[in-house]
Structure 1
């Protein structure tokens, strides 16, 4: 991928706004990376990413031990991939929970937004890395087959880069 126009924080927000689930990667006690899918509640104007979770979850323990996290978004149908690195923290604020609560969240939190075990994870983003292509899956597939037939290296006119928050 070639590095095209430089994207901005707002571009990153736009790239991930319709991707409802991300992989939240934390550091496990044994030092290994621990990843799990999480429903993104939103990204605020400052680039912070918000997730609902339980206070007694292992995620909170891992974040308290090492706040450095990575949040990965993928939309293969759009050829859009974004990894956001930052520091996570627990935010136990009923007003914020109310702000980020959605009816769909009740599927994961059946006791509702007033559950005393419900809390938020806030990821204060520092940097994002993105891979983005305007080509759809069919075009990418045809290009890949063409490279196999011709023996030439696969090149895509997509963009790759980083954005500081």
Structure 2
């Protein structure tokens, strides 16, 4: 005979957060679809664009990229290996760590990103036009707070 644990009742905040999570999942799908369409003419996928974009301003390790993107390190490693094979990314020695090399876009990688920049800017301007800047700033603040809270409480998941 098995015993069932008592059902925990969701608080109003828990219910609202669950709805937000479901909307964020839907938004993630829509954003990835848009990113695929933006990246394709530059010869990239959305995932490869994300990895290249993560190292445009400064070199980063695969682990750092994965952490910032919230994905598995192995996924970023596979994408990085493919980008290296295509001549879009290079892995350089890391003075701070013997084995964790630093990913940096090659000149060809920078050209690929530059080739999709106008498409991404037009898309962002189109979507952003439906909002006032104060509203976008508030949404950004709330999302950053949610991310911090989820990351802080990650270990409490049973």
Give the shorter-chain TM-score range: under 0.3
Give TM-score scaled by structure 2 length. Answer: 0.24
TM-score normalised by the chain length of structure 1: 0.23
Structure showing the higher strand proportion among its residues: 1
Choose between structure 1 and 2: higher helix proportion. Answer: 2
